[in-house]
Amino acid sequence: MGKMSRDKGKRFERELAARLREEGYKDCRRTSQYCGQTGDASDVVGLPGIHIEAKHCERMQLYDWMAQAVHDAAASGKGNLPAVFHRKNNAGILVTMRFEDFMQIYKEYEAGERH
């Protein structure tokens, strides 16, 4: 991966962390993933229960990205649900999750709405 591509990814991770902080998740921040400095392979941390894989690419490789998120989430041992936050140039941020993980979140939301 070239320097421009790495820089683009870092900018997106910072943007995503900032957007999550705007939504009230004040502890969200980009991780330092090199040299084992964080012990967490998430690209952005601070969103409770979610392992974030962040991608800013024109060509979507969602299944590869999701496989990475699933692997890294399992390796962390925290029980976080894997999710890929992605965007391409001049487009909004999308979130991709596995069906069963989405249903887990949705059922918890729905149960909370009934009370």
pLDDT at 95: 98
**H helical segments located in 1-115:** 3-22, 62-76, 99-113
**CA 75 – CA 54 distance, rounded (Å):** 17
The domain 3-113 is classified under which CATH number: 3.40.1350.10, 3.40.30.10, 1.20.1730.10, 3.40.50.300? 3.40.1350.10
The pLDDT, as a whole number, for residue 40 is 65
Q: Please tell me whether residue 98 adopts helix, strand or coil conformation.
A: coil
Q: What is the pLDDT along the chain (115 residues), one digit of tens a residue?
A: 788 878 898 999 999 999 999 999 999 999 975 444 445 689 999 999 999 999 999 999 999 999 999 999 999 999 999 999 999 999 999 999 999 999 999 999 999 988 7
pLDDT of residue 2: 82
Q: What is the reported pTM? A: 0.88
